[in-house]
Amino acid sequence: VLAIWHQLTKTEITELTKGSVMMRERSRVEDTIYAMQKAGPGSLQVISDFDMTLTRFAHKGKRLPTTHNILNNRLLINEDSTKKMKELLNTYYPIEIDPSLSLAEKLPYMVTWWTEVHELLIQQRIRKDMLARVVRESSAMLREGYRVFFDCLAEHRVPLLIFSAGVGDVLEEVIRQNDVFHPNLHIISNYMDFDHTGVLQAFKGQLIHSYNKRDVTLSHATALRELHGRPNVLLLGDSLGDLNMADGVSEAQNILTVGFLNDQVEERKESYINSFDIVLLKDETMDIPNVILRHIV
């Protein structure tokens, strides 16, 4: 009897019983983690969003900036533009997270938001050599436990694909300044194109916003060949749009999705629980992703 009891409880991952962890189907989560454990780190890849997923949403009651908002700094842009960028944020962020609007309804607003902000940044002739300084002076922080997360993946040679609708140059600088820019890192994001004097003149490639990650991942399929042969995916995000980040993974076997629900928690809880396998409510740490990794690698 004891042996059977032991077998039954073996699959319980105690950290998942914390009050801030919600799951639609706990047994499926645990089965997926054990299937991934069986296959080992050689079969695993991690795909993560950046802003408000790898970075903290708030600290000591204060909201922390996304990569775009790090650029909203008087060192880079004039006073009118800082106001304009804040107005755009106040107009479009509520639309981005509004649970009563469909994806199709949100899409055109997202395109407008990103396009207007990028045009504003180009018009302000942002200088490449100022980026490290604005990142250093910003209040942006990676989530608590980030070092264990990045180091563990690097040590076990598990590729980490960061898939961000933020600004690639800025997110790279955040990662670099936190000393976790390891060789297993792949990044898809909006990258800046500077002229020969180091002044921003355009953004490279297809615009990435929070709700077109499916199109973007499909168009990067060839570049992501290195990730082939890794059918198990741990996906981390904070937006429902992040769920599409794994759509380009060919022959996926097990996909476990973790959603950080940072804002408008009560209003969005139900849709998050219906969409992500694990939902973390106002959790500013990497504890749960780290627990999952500890079971797999």
242 given a catalytic annotation:
no
280: part of which helix (H) or strand (E)? strand 278-281
Q: Which listed residue (31, 51, 283, 287) is catalytic?
A: 51
277 given a catalytic annotation:
no
Tell which one of 57, 109, 113, 276 touches ligand TMP (CB under 6 A): 113
How far apart CA 57 and CA 111 sit, in angstroms, is 23
Cβ-in-10-Å burial (0-12, 13-18, 19+) of 244 comes to buried
Amino acid letter, residue 137: E
Instruction: Mark the segment that binds ligand TMP (CB under 6 A) among 5-13, 66-74, 139-147, 284-292.
Output: 66-74
Q: Which of residues 30 and 96 has its CB atom nearest to Mg ion in the complex?
A: 96
Q: Shortest Cβ distance from residue 227 to ligand TMP (Å)?
A: 19
113 binding partner (options Mg ion, ligand TMP, none; Cβ < 5 to 8 Å by kind):
ligand TMP
Site map 153..192 versus ligand TMP, x via CB under 6 A: -----------xxx--------------------------
Q: Does 172 bind Mg ion (CB under 5 A)?
A: no
**Closest to 93 measured CA to CA, from 262, 276, 218:** 262
How far apart CA 41 and CA 22 sit, in angstroms, is 25
Site map 238..257 versus ligand TMP, x via CB under 6 A: -x------------------
**Residue environment code for 130-158, b if the CB has 16+ CB neighbours within 10 A, otherwise e:** ebeebbeebebbbbebbeebbebbbeeeb
Q: Which of residues 49 and 284 has its CB atom nearest to Mg ion in the complex?
A: 49
Q: Shortest Cβ distance from residue 4 to Mg ion (Å)?
A: 44
Torsion of CA 140, 145, 149, 151, to 10 degrees: 90
Q: Does 51 bind Mg ion (CB under 5 A)?
A: yes
Please provide the distance, in angstroms rounded to a whole number, between the alpha carbons at the two ends of the chain: 31
Q: Shortest Cβ distance from residue 28 to ligand TMP (Å)?
A: 26
Q: Does 203 bind ligand TMP (CB under 6 A)?
A: no
Rg (CA), the chain: 20
* CA–CA distances in Å: residue 50 to residues 168, 222, 251: 10, 22, 25
What residues make contact with ligand TMP under the rule CB under 6 A?
A: 49-52, 66, 68-69, 89, 96, 113-114, 117, 164-166, 210, 239
